[in-house]
A and B are shown apart, each in its own frame.
Chain A
Amino acid sequence: MRTIYILWLRQIKRYLRSRSRIIGSLGQPALFLVALGFGFGPIFQKAGGGNYITFLAPGVIAQGILFTAIFSGIELIWDRQFGFLKETLVAPVSRFEIMIGRTLGGATIATLQGVIVFLLTLLIGFRPDIALFPVALVMMFLIALLFTSLGTAIASMLEDFQGFQLIMNFLVMPLFFLSGSLFPLNSAPPFLKIISHIDPLTYGVDGLRQSLSTMSQFGLLTDFTVLSILTIILLGIGSYLFSKIQI
């Protein structure tokens, strides 16, 4: 437990100390909110979709979490080659504890980032239903944990950052754009619907949308179940791959 705690603490301290990183990672969500939110808002309204910001905000919060989570998982590559990972790997502690501590730390950071983006959406004009905010927080943490585990799993297999662009363009971006964060899925063409149903982020966005904007496609229970099961599977895969790391 002490091991998990100290590794978690380390991630939190690093995060709180890198103000530029916190501010920098708000740029993208802010851009999505302003450009898409205000740009598409009138059309969305005309098409009968209601207030686009109300629809979009949960999606952008999910995007903020997704990016931060995957990055903090992938950061492992850096740590692995220089730094700290070696120091932890030669210590008399189990790899499982190291992996869990790191992942919980990364997930906490991503959740915090989600909360900051949430505050940003309020500035832009999002008026959420606050009653279910605790549920939204749980959703945020689940999304964060799922994608930090995914990032860790991927980073455990990579030697360096050469595959990074590949991950960005063929994993992270599609995860976001195909998740229904930007457009309603029920009016999407069937093939897109199918892809979206495979995308785990879809369930995260749906859960957030249910708890913050009271609109949902699958219902909270489905969202929660899908995310939890996937998180457990990915944590398992992540810790297996992490245990196989040789330096």
Chain B
Amino acid sequence: MHIKYLLAKGENKGIIYSMTEVKEATAISVTDLTKKFNTFTAVDHISFTVKHGEIFAFLGPNGAGKSTTIKMLTTLLMPTSGKILINGHNPVKEQDAVRRSFGIVFQDPSLDEELTAYENMEFHGVLYKVPKPLRRKRIQELLSIMELSDRKDHLVKTFSGGMRRRLEIARGLLHHPTIFFLDEPTIGLDPQTRNQMWSYIETLNKQEQITIFFTTHYMEEAERVAQRIAIIDHGKIITEGTAGALKAQTKTDSLENAFLALTGKTIREEQASGVEHLRMRRQMFRGR
């Protein structure tokens, strides 16, 4: 309803502008992308494309290279070799053009907990140079879509996990991105919140033709939402296709079983880095 309302009001000038700008190019195009950390190859010559308006799931066990890939796509990490185009722009050379064109929800919460919901939004809007009147209007609309309006002046540290995620989604959409990256967005959320969140995202994708690129460990989510799925393991893409095609390929009845058939049943022991320790400590500390 709300999103329709936004569209009807012609609120989405930015989107129309960006859509014409990139009409021909694919949303994401990756060729022979490789990332090495010293001797360890985290991402090993992967290639794939994501079309405009597509919902694309990027699945894989822990440590398979999902987050590393997302970091390279979003200018946070330099590739060792290979080529990336985001809306026709190269993240290594045209960082700002790439950065303007996508929104992202990170795996770890990236809100400032000492600021209010509104302040977090405002901060984002200023960084992305959204003009003030438009910024104010858009913040209110997005907060109301995400049902956070009545909590907008509360500090984020008082928010539940689900509320934080909704705020992060609202924030990621503030500057009218054409591509939306979601790195394990539903981790730690209850089924109700997850269901509601995916409904928003699907509506968004339908109404505004935003390209969605997401990772998740919940296979049923990917099966339900994704139009196309790529499975990555040990840094390589093993297969790519619709949920139906992956099931047919492995002769299994669910994506979960297809995933297990493709990646094996061994549990991956990810070497715990300093970050991993911090993350665990933080989770214990915050009870989240």
Contacts and interface: CB of A to CB of B under 8 A. Distances in A.
B76 interface: yes
A187 interface: no
Given A81-B108, A82-B109, A160-B278, A13 B114 contact: yes
Interface in B131-189: 155, 171
Interface centre among A18, A161, A246, A247 (most CB of B within 10 A): A247
Nearest to B275: A81
B278 A87 contact: no
A105 to B, nearest CB: 12
Interface string A58-89: 00000000000000000000000111101111
A86 B70 CA distance: 13
Nearest to B157: A17
Interface size class of A (residues with CB under 8 A): 20 to 34
Interface residues on chain B, size class: 35 or more
Given A86-B76, A246-B76, A247-B71, A159 B274 contact: yes
Contacts of A88: 127
Contacts of B112: 10, 14, 83-84
B76 A90 contact: yes
A83 B107 CA distance: 10
Contact of B129 (A2, A17, A81, A90): A2
B115 A13 contact: yes
A205 to B, nearest CB: 32
Interface stretch (B40-48, B98-106, B195-203, B230-238): B98-106
A6 B282 CA distance: 27
B127 A93 contact: yes
B115 A90 contact: no
Nearest to A245: B76
A165 interface: no
Nearest to B113: A83
B206 to A, nearest CB: 25
Interface stretch (B12-20, B23-31, B118-126, B261-269): B118-126
B215 interface: no
B76 A89 contact: yes
A87 B99 contact: no
A10 B273 CA distance: 29
Given A2-B129, A246-B76, A247-B71, A83 B123 contact: no
A180 B163 CA distance: 51
| Best-buried of B97, B119, B278 by chain A (most CB within 10 Å) | B278
Contact of B106 (A17, A86, A92): A86
Given A3-B127, A13-B114, A81-B108, A90 B100 contact: no
B110 A82 contact: yes
B282 A14 contact: no
A18 B157 CA distance: 13
A23 interface: no
Interface string A26-53: 0000000000000000000000000000
Contacts of A83: 108-113
A10 B274 CA distance: 27
Contacts of A10: 112, 115, 123
A77 to B, nearest CB: 9
B78 to A, nearest CB: 7
A169 interface: no
Nearest to B97: A92
The CB with the most chain B CB atoms within 10 A, among A18, A84, A90, is that of A90
The 5 closest A-B pairs by CB, nearest first: A160-B274, A91-B127, A92-B99, A92-B96, A14-B114
Given A86-B106, A92-B96, A246-B77, 20 more contacts: A3-B126, A3-B127, A10-B115, A14-B115, A81-B108, A81-B275, A82-B108, A83-B108, A83-B112, A84-B110, A87-B106, A87-B111, A87-B171, A89-B76, A90-B74, A90-B104, A91-B127, A91-B128, A247-B71, A247-B77
Interface of B: 71, 74-78, 95-97, 99-100, 102, 104, 106, 108-115, 119, 123-124, 126-129, 155, 171, 273-275, 277-279, 282
18 contacts: A6-B127, A10-B115, A13-B119, A17-B155, A18-B114, A82-B109, A82-B279, A83-B109, A84-B111, A86-B110, A87-B124, A88-B127, A90-B74, A90-B75, A91-B128, A92-B96, A247-B71, A247-B77
